[in-house]
Structure 1
């Protein structure tokens, strides 16, 4: 296998996990395997797994629970999530704000994103919430984490439709 994964591999992983959820292999309320375990199973990097999981989170098939990992949403959770008009979770608002700063050019490719600590201060949220916002952006491929250095803008977001 090459050291680079084929573009869109995360879509295939998301499809496989979606089928397994629909087929009952992962029961509502049940935990999914860890990112590391899924990466090993599919032979891909954790960032690829994160993209697949972010897709399923956006579809409200799964949700992240601090200290637990990702679990399958129940039918009631999916229905209420689609029906209510509650404001987005704090991490989604932070991620959206950062995405806007990237798309409007305030943060250009190669620029460092604010640190978790800076986001904690700016938005008055927990470190976990700040980390989740940054992870969401990593999952989309918009941001890359460099160990010991921080998170950096990868590319400008495109309009796919």
Structure 2
């Protein structure tokens, strides 16, 4: 309900501000514009405050903590399986394997990542996300190399991606301990 009030203030403030500038082509009713802008800004603050409170709730933090751990575990496991399969997975089908095995878990982790800040602080978040982002870039490189038929490059960067995600997983486990 609070969030709806915030959105109502934001939308009505923007509309009223736009209306106040369109009333007269020669002059602007600055008082009406200021009141409308104040309503819109108040709406933004209400929305942000509500979202911040929701993000810090014990239920959300607990659920997202499990999502972070579970998704990283699955990413590392799937990368190790793909790396261990070696030539059993053809280079041109490696990108399909990445899409099938990793996409959902990468998205789940990314959706829950803000919880890291609330649980462990900004420094842990920065360090962990640095490893995660590097691993994600390596996966993108594997995908591209697979699409272009560069077997050696795809296999090399598959190992590098697995290493980065293992590092992220170790950092998460160390922070949670």
Give the TM-score, by structure 2 length.
Answer: 0.27
Structure with the higher helix share, 1 or 2? 2
Bigger strand fraction: 1
Q: Which has the larger radius of gyration?
A: 2
What is the TM-score normalised by the length of structure 1? 0.29
